Amino acid sequence: MKPSSQPVISLGRLPCILHQIGSPPTLRPPKTLNSSSVILTERHPLQTNAAFIYRPLVNTGSLGNTRIISEEYIKWLTGYCKAYFYGLRVKLLEPVPVSATRCSFRVNENTQNLQIHAGDILKFLKKKKPEDAFCIVGITMIDLYPRDSWNFVFGQASLTDGVGIFSFARYGSDFYSMRYEGKVKKLKKTSSSDYSIFNNYYIPEITSVLLLRSCKTLTHEIGHIFGLRHCQWLACLMQGSNHLEEADRRPLNLCPICLRKLQCAVGFSIVERYKALVRWIDDESSGTPGATPEHSREGNGNLPKPVEAFKEWKEWIIKCLAVLQK
């Protein structure tokens, strides 16, 4: 028998396969919270491919010490969300300052950085969720904690309410280093309603690795809102993780089981979805999959999107497309 000439697509198996594979999908994405950026996805049964994006206002904190980069980073995540959940409408809402949420906050006694209460943010998002929205998700570069007894949490969501809040604070390369600039050097006793402590909140430099980690977390958690449980079969985006090293090991792609579940929920063409993801990686700066170069660079400062860390995944997608289109 001749060896196959088709591209080889690797689907790594997990070391241990358990019984539960997750529930069938049920229908149910950001702002930077010192400003937070809110992305919301919505699905209309007759117009699943309509797209609406609202640009955020300038954030009060600095992202990579440049306000323009703050806006670009949010647009990149918005575009990725549109491609990953291909066919859903995605709206980018205006930034929300921490003070508007009236959330509790604290300084972590171990890492000495500011944290905001995830549960309070969820309550705020629930009140702001539009009636026609499938889900609304806040993203922030400020660290989160779910309750006083916990050290931190990467994110928290309510699947029944269709809301979620996720932080990428710990994805910066310097967070666990001694030179981390986000530490509170001198903590003055302030009122629980005085949010001036968040003025000029430190935001790490946006690198390719930080963007990749952010894309993973955003799509993983929105996957949960769609009813996908933690995957226990193959190497998959929906695998659970307890720390950053584990999160880094899971791939960007969904395994065939979870991909089929998401396809059932959203109704996309797998081929068109893969093409949209490749376009997002190839587009140097746009947050809009499939946009023309002139449209994609309009008013964005022509900042290059740091996609070096996505190179291997792009090659994997191209192999999949070669098989699907043969």
Q: What whole-number distance in Å separates Cα of residue 220 and Cα of residue 254?
A: 9
Confidence of residue 284 (pLDDT cuts 50, 70, 90): low
Give the tens place of pLDDT for each residue, 171-190: 877 777 767 767 776 665 55
Q: What whole-number distance in Å separates Cα of residue 175 and Cα of residue 277?
A: 29
Rounded average pLDDT over 219-229? 89
In this structure, is residue 8 part of a structural domain? no
279: how many CB neighbours lie within 10 A of its CB?
Answer: 17
Rounded average pLDDT over 111-126? 89
Which pLDDT belongs to residue 298?
40
In this structure, is residue 32 part of a structural domain? no
Which pLDDT belongs to residue 257?
94
Is residue 218 a contact partner of residue 165, using CB atoms and an 8 Å limit?
no
Confidence of residue 119 (pLDDT cuts 50, 70, 90): very high
For the chain, the average pLDDT equals 74
Which pLDDT belongs to residue 36?
47
| 10: pLDDT strictly greater than 70 | no
In this structure, is residue 57 part of a structural domain? yes
In this structure, is residue 139 part of a structural domain? yes
Rounded average pLDDT over 305-319? 94
Which pLDDT belongs to residue 93?
81
Is residue 48 a contact partner of residue 86, using CB atoms and an 8 Å limit?
no
Which pLDDT belongs to residue 213?
93
Phi/psi for 96 (5° steps) reads: -120, 120
Q: What whole-number distance in Å separates Cα of residue 201 and Cα of residue 62?
A: 7
| 307: pLDDT strictly greater than 80 | yes
Q: Tokens 């309009």, residue?
A: 298
Q: What whole-number distance in Å separates Cα of residue 222 and Cα of residue 139?
A: 12
Q: Which has the closest alpha carbon to 194: 111, 128, 114?
A: 114
Q: How many helices (H) and strands (E) does the chain have?
A: 9, 10
Which pLDDT belongs to residue 264?
92
**Catalytically active residues, by annotation:** 221
Q: What whole-number distance in Å separates Cα of residue 252 and Cα of residue 232?
A: 16
Q: What whole-number distance in Å separates Cα of residue 235 and Cα of residue 250?
A: 6
Q: What whole-number distance in Å separates Cα of residue 52 and Cα of residue 42?
A: 10
37: how many CB neighbours lie within 10 A of its CB?
Answer: 30
Which pLDDT belongs to residue 238?
94
Is residue 55 a contact partner of residue 274, using CB atoms and an 8 Å limit?
no
Which pLDDT belongs to residue 274?
97
| 278: pLDDT strictly greater than 80 | yes
Number of domains forming the structure of the chain: 1
Rounded average pLDDT over 83-106? 87
Beta strands in 172-318 (DSSP E): 202-203
Higher pLDDT, 301 or 145: 145
Beta strand 135-140 with 143-145 is unpaired
Of 156-160, 226-230, 296-300, 307-311, least confident by mean pLDDT is 296-300
Which pLDDT belongs to residue 186?
64
Rounded average pLDDT over 10-37? 40
Q: What pairs with residue 154 in β-bridges? A: none
Q: What percent of the chain has pLDDT over 70?
A: 69
| 110: pLDDT strictly greater than 70 | yes
Which pLDDT belongs to residue 38?
54
Rounded average pLDDT over 64-73? 58
Rounded average pLDDT over 92-100? 83
Which pLDDT belongs to residue 60?
32
CATH code of residue 165: 3.40.390.10
Say which amino acid occupies 69. I
Supply 123's token pair.
């309550």
Higher pLDDT, 148 or 8: 148
Confidence of residue 243 (pLDDT cuts 50, 70, 90): confident
Higher pLDDT, 290 or 191: 191
Q: Tokens 């579940």, residue?
A: 261
How far, CA to CA in Å, does 253 sit from each of 97, 186, 230, 281?
Answer: 33, 43, 14, 14
In this structure, is residue 69 part of a structural domain? yes
Confidence of residue 58 (pLDDT cuts 50, 70, 90): very low
Q: Which domain holds residue 94?
A: 47-227
Q: What whole-number distance in Å separates Cα of residue 142 and Cα of residue 170?
A: 9
Compute the half-sphere exposure of residue 272: CA atoms within 13 Å on the CB side of its CA.
12
Which pLDDT belongs to residue 189?
56
